[in-house]
Amino acid sequence: MDEITTVFVTESREQLAALEAALLQLESDPDDDDTLNAVFRSAHTIKGGAGVVECDFIVAFTHVVENALDKLRNGEIKLNVDLVALLLACSDHIGNLLGVLEAGTPDPDAELAAEGMALLARLQRDWIDDKPAGGLSRSGPPSPREEPVQSSGGGEVETDCWHISLRFGPDVLRNGMDPLSFLRYLASIGRIVRMETIADAMPNADAMDPEACYLGF
């Protein structure tokens, strides 16, 4: 590893230790705003550093964790034992991803990538996608019911493809995030069959801010 990456890995492990300690503290005092903000800052710092060293798989994973933490500190969801356990598992996974970077491996192996996708799917489904402020009960979410995929012609089809829409906030570039890192990460764990650029938020040239992000995919 080069010196910058070595420093990033060392500092990120320190941030993870602080994040985990803060999460455990929040179990007994879930409304402590200072501790909530500290957890968010740790995740944000790791994501920003990963962007600097161009480690796309850490950026992409940590960004989703950061989204959940942002909803948590804004009061959109409430902390309970299920979320603490899931966030601790995400912290462990980030530690494993740091190990991949430290070893000089370009991408996580299939098993580690699948583990990460499963964690992100749980975060997205149970906590990020328009959940009420009360969050989930301790018994956990109900099992999702599988629905058949409908083709445009009305018939049922079988497919293992996913339609993924990526939309970014206007400040994503200012925050040190490279939106293309998500696309590179997705391409590393699967095959992108088709991609379209969404430019409906693009303003006229005279109103454009060169540091703002207007594109989606």
Averaged over successive runs of 10 residues, the pLDDT of the chain (217 residues) comes to 88 95 92 92 92 92 93 91 95 97 92 94 87 43 45 52 79 71 72 84 86 86
Residue 11 · residue 82 · CB < 8 Å: no
Residue 186 · residue 192 · CB < 8 Å: yes
Residue 191 confidence (pLDDT) = 80
Second CATH level (architecture) for the domain 3-128: Up-down Bundle (1.20)
| Burial class of residue 20 (count of CB atoms within 10 Å of its CB; 0-12, 13-18, 19+) | middle
Domain boundaries along the sequence of the chain? 3-128
Q: How far is residue 201's CA from residue 54's CA, in Å, rounded to a whole number? A: 27
Residue 176 confidence (pLDDT) = 63
Residue 145 confidence (pLDDT) = 45
Token reading at 32 = 């402590």
Residue 123 confidence (pLDDT) = 93
Residue 131 confidence (pLDDT) = 53
R_g (Cα) of the chain, nearest Å: 19
Maximum pairwise Cα distance, the chain: 57
Residue 25 confidence (pLDDT) = 94
At 36, phi and psi to the nearest 5? Answer: -60, -45
Please state the pTM of the whole predicted model. Answer: 0.63
